[in-house]
């Protein structure tokens, strides 16, 4: 499994070429790690994104910094100039902290079905289980304690961290990373009520995950009831997210931790959903929607934009007063409509005009 190795030093000029940044200053300076502006020391590469921490440029002890063209004149340190400093920092961090690949082969303690196809360049870790007819592509990594069910397809360079569970017939696209404890393809919550009892509905669909996705630790994605649950390419799911059966999440969407998405909801492309948002089932959310953290979504969203539905924190007594006033709004609205129908507003306007 990938580990976090000791960073290797790199010349600033070489790093600039690798990440597509403009070099300003001594290109022979070597950096061997990343750090914040405030905590950086010799050999560290820091970055500035936005103006909040701009004042720290004067006091930082970093060897070099990444920043935007507008901030390039704010420090005499060697610098990498990029229009998107945060993205440049991400690329630089990947260069300084390359992931170590697992050693190819099947660990002696792993249990691999005879009909499974494991590419010789793939790695299956200690205690892992691989089911019948499952196909594991080149350079894929199955971590310690993973359970990969029957008829699963793992694409090239997929990484399963320890204790991931993939139920039967799940599909995972190339270069996707699934973090520890995630459960992919478990039964959706399908129940029919009859005579006061619940009847379980067999879930016969699959989970199909695209390429270049990331599935966070302890996130669960339910298999479809009939059709598949689909996670399209480049979707990023944080930790402890629940995705219900038959959901579709469009490409390039990012969802923060503890979000709950009920079944048969379709989320568009390029959406961003904040932590702990709750989304009801059988809804449609179009492309390019931003949903703020803790927002409850109970109806389809048909237009791009930012949607928020959470009360900000306030002292408890103030919250009680606000809630009390909110509960009276419907009554006040009815009284106003009654007054309007009685002509009170019209009479008032006539008196003003007569004056």
Residue positions annotated with a catalytic role: 245
Selection from 326, 350, 348, 330 nearest residue 339 by Cα: 348
Report CA-CA distances (Å) from 113 to 36, 148, 233.
48, 10, 29
Residue with structure tokens 């920092």? 89
Residue with structure tokens 């502006």? 37
Q: Cα separation of 178 and 282, whole Å? A: 26
Give the burial class of 5: count Cβ atoms within 10 A of its Cβ; 0-12 exposed, 13-18 middle, 19 or more buried: exposed
Give the burial class of 217: count Cβ atoms within 10 A of its Cβ; 0-12 exposed, 13-18 middle, 19 or more buried: middle
Selection from 143, 146, 155 nearest residue 119 by Cα: 155
Q: How much is the CA Rg of the chain, to the nearest whole Å?
A: 27
Sheet order of strands, 260-261 included: 111-112, 129-130, 147-148, 165-166, 183-186, 220-222, 242-243, 260-261, 278-279, 296-297
Triad 309, 290, 233: Cα angle to 5°? 140
DSSP secondary structure code for residue 301 in this structure: B
268: its two tokens:
């568009």
110: its two tokens:
């792993």
Give the burial class of 178: count Cβ atoms within 10 A of its Cβ; 0-12 exposed, 13-18 middle, 19 or more buried: buried
| 15 φ, ψ (degrees, to nearest 5) | -65, -40
With residue 335 as reference, give the H or E element that holds it.
Answer: helix 329-341
């Amino acid at each position: 499994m990938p580990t976090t190795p000791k960073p290797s030093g790199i010349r600033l000029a070489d790093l600039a070429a690798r990440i597509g940044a403009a070099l300003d200053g001594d290109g022979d300076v070597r950096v061997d790690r990343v750090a914040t502006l405030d905590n950086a020391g010799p050999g560290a590469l820091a970055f500035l994104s936005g103006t909040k921490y701009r004042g720290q440029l004067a006091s930082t002890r970093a060897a070099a910094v990444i920043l935007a063209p507008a901030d390039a004149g704010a420090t005499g340190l060697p610098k990498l100039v990029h229009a998107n400093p945060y993205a440049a920092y991400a690329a630089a961090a990947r260069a300084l902290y390359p992931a170590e690949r697992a050693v190819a082969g099947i660990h002696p303690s792993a249990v691999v079905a005879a009909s499974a196809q494991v590419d010789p360049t793939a790695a299956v870790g200690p205690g892992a289980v691989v089911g019948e007819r499952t196909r594991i592509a080149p350079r894929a990594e199955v971590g310690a304690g993973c359970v990969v069910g029957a008829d699963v397809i793992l694409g090239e360079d997929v990484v399963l961290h320890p204790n991931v569970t993939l139920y039967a017939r799940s599909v995972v696209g190339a270069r996707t990373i699934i973090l520890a404890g995630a459960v992919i393809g478990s039964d959706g919550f399908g129940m029919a009520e009859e005579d006061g009892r619940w009847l379980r509905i067999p879930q016969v669909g699959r989970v199909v995950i695209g390429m270049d996705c990331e599935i966070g630790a302890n996130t669960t994605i339910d298999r479809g009831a009939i059709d598949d649950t689909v996670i399209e390419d480049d979707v990023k799911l944080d930790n402890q997210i629940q995705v219900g059966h038959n959901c579709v999440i469009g490409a390039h969407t990012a969802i923060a931790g503890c979000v709950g998405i009920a079944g048969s909801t379709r989320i568009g492309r390029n959406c961003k959903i904040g932590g702990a948002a709750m989304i009801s089932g059988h809804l449609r959310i179009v492309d390019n929607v931003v949903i703020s953290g803790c927002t409850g979504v109970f109806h389809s969203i048909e237009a791009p934009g930012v949607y928020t539905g959470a009360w900000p924190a306030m002292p408890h007594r103030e919250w009680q007063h606000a809630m009390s006033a909110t509960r009276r709004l419907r009554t006040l609205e009815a009284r106003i409509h009654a007054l309007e129908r009685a002509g009170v507003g019209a009479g008032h306007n006539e008196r003003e005009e007569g004056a």
